[in-house]
Structure 1
Amino acid sequence: MMKYSFMKYNKLKILCSSLLFTFLLLSCESEYTKTVNKEAKKGISKDSMVLGMSFGDTKQSFFDQCWKLNNKGLVTQGPNNRSVQYLLNSNKEDKNLTAIMMLFYGNFNENNIMTGMDMEFSYKSWAPWNDDMTSENLVPVLLDTLMNWFPGNKFITIESDKLNKETHVKVDGNRQIVLYPKDIKNVVVKIEDLKYKYPEKFKPANP
C-alpha cells in the first residue's frame, strides 16, 4: 500500500513538474513568436507590398513595373543606381518641408522570385540642424503610414539583440514588416514573406 502511494505520489509530482515546465515555456515565449505562430495557423496569404508589387513576382516583372512607374513620373533612379526612389508626403501642412523620400529594391531568391523588399525612408529636406526631421521623429509618421497601407494587426515593439535598438514588427498572415531607425537620418523598413523565413510554420495548404 505504501509502495502504491509512493508511486502515485511520484506520478503526480512528475505531472506537476511537466505542467510547470510547459507553463514556463509558454511564459518565456516572446510576443513576437506568439504572433507569428498565431498568424501561421490562420493559413491566410498576404502577398501585396507597395506600388503594385507582390511576393512571387519575378525580377523581370519588378523591373517592368518600375519602368511603368518611371514613365508615369512616379519613381526615379535612386542614388548610385542601387535602388528606386519614390516621394511621399506626411500629413503635415507644409508638404515641401515634409516630403519623405523612399528608396526601395526587391529581394529575390535563387529563382529570381521576389520574397520581400528593402526600403529606406528619410525626410527629403533633412539636415543635421533640422531637429524635427530626424529618424526618431520619422518613425511614428511611418508607423501610421504603413498602417494605412497595410491595415490589419498593429505593430508590436521588440528589443532586437541583433540590431541593439528598438524595433517595430507587424505580422499579417505570411507578410512581416520590420521597421527601425538606421541612424539619425534614415529609417529602415523590410517586408518579408515568412513562408520563406519559417517554411516549417507556413506550410502550403493541402489541395
Structure 2
Amino acid sequence: MKVSGIWMKAGWTLVIAMAILACAKEDRYQQMVARELAKGVRVDSLFFGIYLGMPSKDFFDHCLQLNHRQLITQGPGGLSVQHIMKNELK
C-alpha cells in the first residue's frame, strides 16, 4: 500500500509540474504575439491579390476578373480557387 501511495504522489507532482510548464509557455507565446502585433506589419497576402480576411463580395468579384483573364478556375464546390501551375516550377 505504501508503494502505490508514493506513485500517486509522484503522479500528482508530475501533473502539477506539467501544468506550471504549460502556463509558462503560454506567457512566452503571449509576449511574442504582443511583440509582433506591435510591429504593425500585416502578412495576409496569399496570391493574385487575394488576402486573408477578404470580404466575400470582394473575393468573388476579384476571382471573376482573374477567371476572365484565365489565371484561375473555380475550385471544388465553387467556394475555392484553383490555379494549375504549368511553368512556374521549372
TM-score by length of 2: 0.51
> Secondary structure at the residue paired with 1:49?
strand
Give distance in 1, aligned partners of 2:61 and 2:36. 32
Task: Note if 1:29 corresponds to 2:15.
Answer: no
Unaligned regions of 5+ residues in structure 1, if any? 1-23, 94-207
Distance 1:56 1:28, change over 3 A: closer
Q: For 1:159-174, what aligned pairs fall within 5 Å after superposition?
A: none
1:81 shift after superposition: 2.6
> In the alignment, residue 74 of structure 1 is paired with which amino acid?
L
In structure 2, the partner of 1:40 is: 37
The higher radius of gyration belongs to 2
In structure 2, the partner of 1:71 is: 68
- Post-superposition CA distance 1:147-191 (Å, at most 9, x none): xxxxxxxxxxxxxxxxxxxxxxxxxxxxxxxxxxxxxxxxxxxxx
- Relative contact order (C-alpha < 8 Å, sep 6+): which is higher? 1
Q: For 1:10-159, what aligned pairs fall within 5 Å after superposition?
A: 28-29=24-25, 33=29, 34-55=31-52, 57-88=54-85, 91=89, 93=90
Number of residue equivalences: 67
Unaligned regions of 5+ residues in structure 2, if any? 1-19
1:56 shift after superposition: 5.3
Q: Where is the strand percentage greater, Structure 1 or Structure 2? A: 1
Q: CA RMSD in A?
A: 3.1
